[in-house]
Amino acid sequence: MSKIKVKRIYETPSDRDGYRILIDRLWPRGVSKSKAEIDSWNKEIAPSEHLRKWFGHDPKKFVAFEKRYREELENKQEELNTICKRAKTQHITLLYAAKDIKHNHALVLKYILESRLYF
């Protein structure tokens, strides 16, 4: 069982979520800070504004987006290490706002974090 999972911020928080990290650069529309029940907001781990706008949630661009996002994350070692350190002791839920549950940065980030934990 993975200690890291992804979840849309619009889904109801659960006790099983563990430590909840919002990983979007912008605050999600229509979600109050109290309703979000986040433990931290890591804007720095999110894709850059330029990359986010270029991708535009177009599934046809996802492979290229993933490659570019991975390249951006190479410069985010401290943020990645901080999340991995926490994931070694508790469950982590990466929260994102995108509508597409198959083509989003949270899935890329989850894979990268898990590869650091288990390899």
Where residue 2 falls among pLDDT bands split at 50, 70, 90?
low
Task: Fill in the amino acid letter for 13.
Answer: P
Structural domain count, the chain: 1
Instruction: Choose among 76, 9, 11, 80: nearest CA to 38.
Output: 9
CB-CB contact of 97 with 29 (8 Å) = yes
Domain that holds residue 97: 4-118
Q: How confident is the model at residue 34, as a pLDDT?
A: 87
CB-CB contact of 41 with 21 (8 Å) = yes
Per-residue pLDDT reduced to its tens digit, 59-116 = 999 999 999 999 999 999 999 999 999 999 999 999 999 999 999 999 999 999 999 8
Per-residue pLDDT reduced to its tens digit, 25-49 = 999 999 998 889 999 999 999 999 9
Name the pTM for this structure.
0.94
